[in-house]
Amino acid sequence: MAHLLLRHRDIENLADLAVYKKHGGFEALKKAVTSMQPEQVTEEVKASGLRGRGGAGFPTGVKWSFLPNNTWPHYVVANADESEPGTFKDREIMTFNPFQFLEGVAIACYAVGANEGYIYLRGEFWQIAHLLDEKIADMEKAGFLGEKLFGSDFSLKLYTHLGAGAYICGEETALLESLEGNRGQPRVRPPFPATYGLYGKPTVVNNVETIANLPLIVTEGATGFRKNGTDKSPGTKIFSLSGNINKPGNYELPLGATFRELIFTCGGGLPEGRKVKGIMPAGASSSIILVNDENFDKVMDTPMDYENVQNVGSMLGSASVIIIDDTHSMDWVISKTVHFFRHESCGKCTPCREGNFWMLNIIDRIGEGHATPRDVTLLKNVATQMQGKCLCALGEFATMAVVSAIERFPEDFTTRVKPA
């Protein structure tokens, strides 16, 4: 299959504006701006069934349609804060196929009537921000950004904004706070960014990969887009494959492709013939899918889309598939994930701030061999006590791996603790 998002893998130097243009670049933007009303673009995206690729899977066109038309200006903010452990897809798109992404941002801006768009990149993407600045300048020079595009009344400016090391800024309201020059702490919702976003104005926040799909949808139409993927999860998806795997990397597959295809066909299986013990399909935020001889085929044949991954006890999220082989104990795995969440908890709400701190204390105790079976129960209780109480999803995500590890891999804990 030819790549739709990772087109640079098929076309050399796609990050060069002339090359991108030669391969149909900016035709979608031109088509939208010169021959479609903004609402038509939104309708087309709705019809395409495109779902947010950042993790939540919310229908993109529906999100756009929430913007009220009596409050202006509107803003579009591209979420390039890619920080979920195991996710590295947006980085590849922006580095090697930047114009498809930027064209997508422009299309989104046109659709929602935004004349200014911001690209919020995690601070570590310093080099990419500089690259995008250059590409934005190239587009301005070529007339694809700026005043009165293609002779229409639509004008657009795009800006990059660098974060500075905070996972929480991937949460859209925290991202907006950060962009406003504040500590990146999430806001209480509602109101949602669609009505009260950047600077209190209606704002669309979309993930980079989501946005990179937009030129395709405008060019091919909703029907064309739906040629890939499933009915409820249409399109292709970039799967970031990492962990204990022979060929880690990004793989663009239709949504609904199976774990087997990703892990064995694309990834070449596990090193040294080791066995899959667990899969975290949504990065550190995942419940860990238990894989053993009994359910191996069932898991491997599970289609990776927003619905079916739930059937094996996890979720697709941003499709950052971390493979854990049978040489690792799950208490160690969750020590890594909880360490991450404790470090990244913004501290705004009590359960997340205190819960992650507490969980890591217990996990460390387990790791050091000082724990008793009661501590394992306590760990699970603390995790469940956090669930449903936090201000944003981060605190919730922190508990996923913990609870699933204790429930599905009990022996990894019982062997680590002293008898009561």
Q: 100, 320, 399, 404: which one contacts other proteins (CB under 8 A)? A: 320
Q: Where are the beta strands (DSSP E) in 308-387?
A: 320-325
Residue 304, helix vs strand vs coil: coil
Residue 197 DSSP one-character state: -
Distance of alpha carbon 327 from alpha carbon 189, whole angstroms? 42
What residues contact residue 185 under an 8 Å CB cut-off, 6+ apart? 168, 174, 177, 346, 347, 348
Closest distance to other proteins from the beta carbon of 188 (Å): 4
Is the CB of 29 or the CB of 321 nearer to other proteins? 321
x-or-dash string of contact with other proteins, 22-61, rule CB under 8 A? ----------------------------------------
Minimum CB separation from other proteins for residue 367, in Å?
13
Alpha carbon distance 299, 313 (integer Å): 10
Nearer to other proteins, 13 or 381 (CB): 381
| Of 169, 200, 214, 171, nearest in space to 64 by CA | 214
CA distance 321 to 45: 27
- Least separation, in Å, of the C-beta of 223 and other proteins? 30
- Neighbouring CB atoms inside 10 A of 317's CB total 26
Q: Which of 90, 138, 209, 252 binds other proteins (CB under 8 A)?
A: 90
Q: Interface residues for other proteins in 70-89 (CB under 8 A)?
A: 82-88
Q: Distance between CA 18 and CA 31 in Å, rounded?
A: 19
Q: Which is nearer to other proteins, 20 or 120 (CB)?
A: 120
Residue in 3, 23, 328, 408 binding other proteins, rule: CB under 8 A: 328
x-marked contacts with other proteins along 109-138 as a string, rule CB under 8 A: -------------xxxxxx-----------
CB 281, min distance to other proteins, A:
13
Nearer to other proteins, 48 or 244 (CB): 244
- x/- letters, 238..267, toward other proteins (CB under 8 A): --xxxxx---xxx-----------------
What is the CB neighbour count within 10 angstroms for residue 356? Answer: 27
In angstroms, the CA 172 to CA 162 distance is 15
Pattern of binders to other proteins over 332-351, x per CB under 8 A? -x--xx--x-xxxxxxxxxx
Distance CA 228, CA 241 (A): 20
Smallest separation (angstroms) from other proteins to the CB of 290: 17
Q: CB-wise, 207 or 242, nearer to other proteins?
A: 242
CA dihedral 210, 213, 217, 220 (to 10 degrees): -160
Q: Does 416 bind other proteins (CB under 8 A)?
A: no
Nearer to other proteins, 19 or 162 (CB): 162
- What is the per-residue binding string for other proteins in 364-383, x denoting contact by CB under 8 A? --------------x--x--
Rg over alpha carbons for the chain, rounded to the nearest Å, is 22
x/- track of binding to other proteins for residues 153-172 (CB under 8 A): ------x-xxxxxxx-----
Q: Are 60 and 51 in contact (CB under 8 A)?
A: yes
Q: Are 284 and 401 in contact (CB under 8 A)?
A: yes
